[in-house]
Structure 1
Amino acid sequence: MKPALDALREVDTALAAALAQVFAGDALHEASDDSVLEAMAVAGSILRRVEGLLIEATDVVRGRSEGPRDERMTTRVGCASLSEVVQRTTRMSGASAGVLMRGAGAVHRERSMTSGEWLPAMLPGLRAAMIEGAVGSDGVAAASVLVEASGRVDRDALLLADAALGEAARGITRDAATGAAESGPHASAGELRVLAQVWASVLDQDGAEPVEASAMRRRGLTVGPVRDGLARVSGDVLAEVAAQWQRNCDALSNPRVRGGAGVGFAPDGEGADGDEGAGGVEGAGVDDVITAPRDTRTRAQKMHDALATSLDVAARSGELPTVGGGAPTLVVYAREGDVLAGTGWAEVEGINEPVGIGLAERVGCCGSIQRVTCDDRGRIVGLSVTDRVFNAIQRKAISLRDGGCVIPGCHVPAGWCEIHHATDHALGGPTHTDNGVLLCWVHHRTLPTSGWSIMMIDGVPHVRGPAWWDPERRWRPAAGSRLQQRVRVAESRHGGAPPERLRRQDGVPEGQLLRRSR
């Protein structure tokens, strides 16, 4: 082994010298496009060959780390696991070490118990491609799905799949009719992963059942205790549950990731569902059309908000089992004085620590309030209920008027929104269509701090945005539903007065000017 190690050290030294020339004087930045691509290709070739050596070495360490703990190689070198050995010797991350270990399993070889000779690898074709430098660790690890199916698949069939993967890694394609080999582009690691999955699904017709049974046993979610206002959720969900959650996230996540903070026409003036004029009122003047704000939430935050909205919609759908004779209801306890003052703490049933009083205000905005009066000794002496919930008929009417969340650029549909009291109920705002406005879960909870304001003028929601988005800070009518937009277009075409037919069918409700929300 010493001559081979000496040769590797010479390669390392030569590579270091070559790289020094590349980095000296920023030569790569001054190179032509073709030279940059060629440098990347050469570096990729070197990387694949090195990764092949690392996979082989990882397989050797794993073979020597089986058996009693005191006799394992991992124990002799002072490491707790194979992953730790790989990480410490290569300075890789745990994820990268896992890729090497999966790759080692795909090209693993055994010795014959009788002759002591090396037997063919689990996937000999892929191993040969690895030795040639045609495939790296990601590509080899991608074939682990075939290794998992090897116990349920005929060996000859497995070798056919292995040969197909090896040829794809080398850039060899087969004519479907004649089977003749042709040269083509080398498959990437991602393409090899897809090819391996296809072969596994074809060869292992019964493989889905044990996988699904295992998934059903291992499924689960845990919700940790609340600390600093957050509870950690962890676990594994079934594939269809993850897919449905992802679909909900796609439907609820604001697709507008561009847009500026000034006044002008939106560069992409259609909403997620094709609604025109998502950033303003259709048919309005230039001064009334403004760009939609950029959604600054991270992907993880969008996933969280979509889950919160889904849970809220499910809770008020009326289709969930009852709890204590009623629908699953979030119960928040707070002192009336704290709610009116906007300071202090609240308690949520089922949560182990107090929460900010703002939660009580938000829940009370779209829920009912039950007042419990106690005497000095704690005895309950009075009960009263204030109905602040918009009924089903009111909700349908408000949905017809608003169409969805009224914040410009937000495309959450009406069915997923909550109804916000534009003038707080505690300040005398009625539970009336002239005082109710649709807001999504995110904008409802961030309204006091986000810089957005809502005001009802003659029963029509008007929105004023933060200064960074609209420097003029003008009150602008919400875009409304498509039906309402058509009414405004008809008005603009008939001198400001809609045709009698539209007036009777789609007239905007009359109302008085209400105080704007805090």
Structure 2
Amino acid sequence: MVFTVPMGEHEVALRASIARAVDALAAPLHALVPARLSGDDYIQLVEEVESLGRIIDALRLRLAGDAESRSDGPIDTFGALGHASAADGLAALAGISVASATSRIHLGRAVTPSLTITGAETPAPHHHIAAAVEDGALGIEAAGVLVRELDGVARRVSPEILDEAERGLVLLAAGTHEHPPLRVDLVRMQASVFIARIDPDGARPKEQRARRKRRLRFGVETSEGLIPVSGLLAGEVGITLKNLVDAHRRSPTFADPDAADDVDVAVDADPRTLDEKRHDALAAIVGAASRAVDAPDLGGAAPAVIVTVTAEALEEPNGFGVIDGLATPVPVASIERLMDTRGHQIATLSPAGRILSLGSVQRCFIASQRRVITARDGGCIIPGCGIPAGWCEVHHVIPHRAGGPTHVDNGVLLCWGHHQKIDSGPWRISMPGGVPHVRGPGHHEWTYVTKARRWRPPLPATG
């Protein structure tokens, strides 16, 4: 039960001081032009504004911590205004989401003192965190991390140990004269270490619960022929994949000393977004895994993408085929790239659909050819691309449909991203004497590359 009393002199003075603070802040806000600040002034001002922000956060939490009692008491403050709940009312008043309001209310209750029926004040449930928040030493985000971690083990750990852990975590998070405050991600990490020490029996069930939630889902194909992917990866799996993608995306590149005047052009030659680069990195990783010697079999054969296309469609520039499992037609250019990488088998069908004959695998570069091409190219041959050979595909420079042979003198290494665009993008490839030459942004003359990935002086034009 909550008793409300008319506003006294203290409350009037409090509201007046807040109003004056708002007015006092308006002037420097309008006058602030960060670009005009020196480096030292900028750093100092960021720290001072953050200190001010933490004081504002403390006031927000104080008010939010009392929100639910306003709805549960005999006088429903928020209900009188037409709000369904305290969170709904706070969200409307503060201009935030209901989820944010709910989180703020929960955290506010954890760090806000409460009043007994006699009007006596009782300490906040997390009084060490509350004191740091009130002093402006701890912000909302860090306080929320500590409260969630400590509440998660409160039923299994003695109050004395929990109180000592809270005190130690606040000292680490808020900082002291000896060390600065921690970033929130480091606060989360330190809190996990503390919790594991004071609740060792809880770490294993937590890991087991997390592993039971692991999943990988493939959604329904979109109208554009894309496959939605979602899921939760086990920590070590996710980190491994992230590191692989980052390593692929950040592979070292080598500038062409003979194209210094066109460096900007060369750097800007890759128009892909970060998300597109991550996708292409994953495509290269999947491709490399499918080519591995110990890749798992499907029905006794290596995993394969089944494409159905007529011989006539392969000869048409605008022809298309169908990939088994996808409803969206696939253009011939994409089929050609798949055939470059994985080969093909010709199946002759009767008009009724009966299989009349099945040829052997053709066109795909075999392992020994790939090794020789790798020794020559070293990786993707496009200037500035650092993708290693193991993650590249072998491309027919002269297309197979144009009579190009499956021979090392007609094959070059391209990463998945460049292989997708080689027929329509800015780069061109030729093979005089069996040596890869490229021409494109920043390389207006035909240029060849060695395995060391350093560009040599241009040779006479070959066409």
Asked if these proteins are the same fold (TM beyond 0.5), I'd say yes
Are 1:279 and 2:255 counterparts? Answer: yes
Are 1:19 and 2:25 counterparts? Answer: yes
Displacement of 1:364 in angstroms is 1.6
Q: 1:239 to 1:423 in 2, by over 3 A?
A: same
Q: Report the TM-score when normalising by structure 2.
A: 0.82
2:233 corresponds to which residue?
Answer: 237
Are 1:201 and 2:196 counterparts? Answer: yes
Are 1:364 and 2:359 counterparts? Answer: no
Unaligned runs of 5+ in 1: 173-181, 256-270, 273-277, 490-514
Displacement of 1:184 in angstroms is 5.1
CA contact (8 A) 1:129 1:169 kept: no
Percent of pairs with identical residues: 32
Secondary structure of 1:474 counterpart: strand
Matches within 5 A, 1:95-244: 97=101, 100=104, 103-104=107-108, 107=111, 120-143=123-146, 144-168=148-172, 171-172=175-176, 185-227=180-222, 228-244=224-240
Displacement of 1:148 in angstroms is 1.7
CA contact (8 A) 1:128 1:166 kept: no
Secondary structure of 1:222 counterpart: strand
Distance 1:77 1:235 in 2: 41
Displacement of 1:460 in angstroms is 1.0
- Cα RMSD over matched residues? 3.8
CA contact (8 A) 1:331 1:348 kept: yes
Distance 2:320 2:11 in 1: 67
Q: 1:6 to 1:375 in 2, by over 3 A?
A: farther
Are 1:330 and 2:299 counterparts? Answer: no
CA contact (8 A) 2:248 2:281 kept: yes
Are 1:414 and 2:384 counterparts? Answer: no
Q: 1:75 to 1:24 in 2, by over 3 A?
A: closer
Q: 1:299 to 1:105 in 2, by over 3 A?
A: farther
Distance 1:427 1:99 in 2: 64
1:51 corresponds to which residue?
Answer: 57
Matches within 5 A, 1:57-76: 57-61=63-67
Displacement of 1:39 in angstroms is 4.3
CA contact (8 A) 1:346 1:359 kept: no
Counterpart residue type for residue 224 of structure 1: G
CA contact (8 A) 2:109 2:124 kept: no
> In the TM superposition, what whole-angstrom CA distance separates every residue of 1:269-317 from its partner, at most 9, and x where no partner exists?
xx36xxxxx334xxxx846997553454333223222222222222221
> In the TM superposition, what whole-angstrom CA distance separates every residue of 1:10-34 from its partner, at most 9, and x where no partner exists?
3453244323322445566656666
CA contact (8 A) 1:171 1:187 kept: yes
Q: How many residues align?
A: 447
Distance 1:220 1:384 in 2: 39
CA contact (8 A) 1:318 1:327 kept: no
CA contact (8 A) 1:370 1:385 kept: yes
Q: 1:251 to 1:81 in 2, by over 3 A?
A: farther
Q: Report the TM-score when normalising by structure 1.
A: 0.74
Counterpart residue type for residue 127 of structure 2: P
Distance 1:426 1:18 in 2: 75
Distance 2:316 2:169 in 1: 68
Secondary structure of 1:149 counterpart: coil
Distance 1:330 1:76 in 2: 63
Counterpart residue type for residue 475 of structure 1: W
Distance 2:76 2:228 in 1: 37
